[in-house]
Amino acid sequence: EQIAEAMAQLNNSNQEERVEAVEQLGAYPNPETEATLGQLLTTDASPEVRNAAALSLGSLDEPSEATLSALMAALEDQNEDVRFSALSTLEDYLLGQEEDSPNYRRIKDGLRLKAGSRSVPDELKESINEVLRDQESMAVPEAVPEAEPDN
């Protein structure tokens, strides 16, 4: 019922009510709300609604490929808050994924591409590189076998 009410509120002309609806959808993560939030992130005219969508997508445990694509696209949004919220959500996903999972690699590869893209502002590129460096420093090094002593 709350999801249906929130979905109906998305058509409201009042931006604040739409932001509330987006936040409500984020509280009930499921494939339908995920798809709606991803669409709002990439198509809504209001930067506040797009920003709320980027943050609300952070409630997902296992984001879909479409969600990851929407968040990657949002790194090039005209609005700085939207860009940084999308990056924050992607970073949270990285922290919650196993390093050998497909989503971990997909996110990391996507961030590397965005860090080299001309369409991403320099300030965000620095933040992306910071996220990637942090991930590298947190990676568990492979166990190195001990050398046999020479006798």
pLDDT in tens, 7-21: 999 999 999 999 999
* Residue at 116 is within a domain: yes
pTM for the whole thing? 0.88
The domain tally of the chain equals 1
Per-residue pLDDT of 98-125, as tens digits, reads: 989 999 999 999 999 999 999 999 999 9
* Residue at 25 is within a domain: yes
Q: Please give the residue range of the domain that contains residue 85.
A: 2-137
* Residue at 142 is within a domain: no
* Residue at 143 is within a domain: no
* Residue at 22 is within a domain: yes
* Residue at 27 is within a domain: yes
* Residue at 24 is within a domain: yes
Write the CATH number for 84: 1.25.10.10
How far from 136 is each of 28, 43, 55, 70, 72, CA to CA, in Å?
Answer: 32, 33, 24, 24, 20
